[in-house]
Amino acid sequence: MAEPSLKPTGVLETVLYARDLAATEQFWRRVLGLEPFHTMAGRQIFYRVGEQVVLIFNPDATVVPPKAGTLPVPPHGAQGEGHVCFRASADEIDAWRARLEAEGVAIEADFVWPASGGRSLYFRDPCGNCLEFAEPKIWGFER
């Protein structure tokens, strides 16, 4: 009997790493308007973003192997800046640009992709993670 063809149907969570979780949480709350649904001081912050979750971990804490009797989540982590792109319409990107500028957040890039006609707006959080708002059509999605 042949194995069924399996492939992922979506991304459930995305992970970024930040050593200064307090500054990151304050930025995500003040600038992005997101409230964490779970935090653990010095280790992690979790946010719901639509049907997905963004996890922000302190890489120094997540490289430590789990202790006996705790959840067996393998050590993981990354060094340096990561990237996440949030879905937004053209009008929403205009509004996000205005909000970011009002908050004193530097815009690194704001352009329309030649092949798709979709727009992207790039900026950074306090730990250097590259954040983006983009129209889904940059990847061929209609909405």
Contact 96, 123 (CB under 8 A): no
Taking only the tens place, the pLDDT of each residue in 49-92 is 999 999 999 999 999 888 898 888 888 888 889 999 999 999 99
Residue 2 has pLDDT above 90, yes or no: no
- Continuous segment of H or E residues that includes residue 112: strand 109-112
What pTM, to 2 d.p., does this model score?
A: 0.90
Cα–Cα nearest to 109, from 117, 121, 118, 99: 121
Cα–Cα nearest to 137, from 125, 123, 120, 122: 120
Coarse DSSP helix, strand, coil percentages of the chain, rounded to the nearest 5 percent: 20, 30, 50
Q: Can you give the residue ranges of every domain in the chain?
A: 13-62+78-139
Q: What share of the chain in percent tops pLDDT 70?
A: 97
In 11-141, where does DSSP find H-type helix? 21-30, 59-62, 90-102
141: which 2 tokens?
């999605």
Q: How confident is the model at residue 30 (pLDDT cuts 50, 70, 90)?
A: very high
pLDDT at 4 (0 to 100): 76
Query: What CATH superfamily is the domain 13-62+78-139?
Result: 2,3-Dihydroxybiphenyl 1,2-Dioxygenase, domain 1 (3.10.180.10)
Question: Phi, psi at residue 91, to the nearest 5°?
Answer: -65, -40
pLDDT at 143 (0 to 100): 64
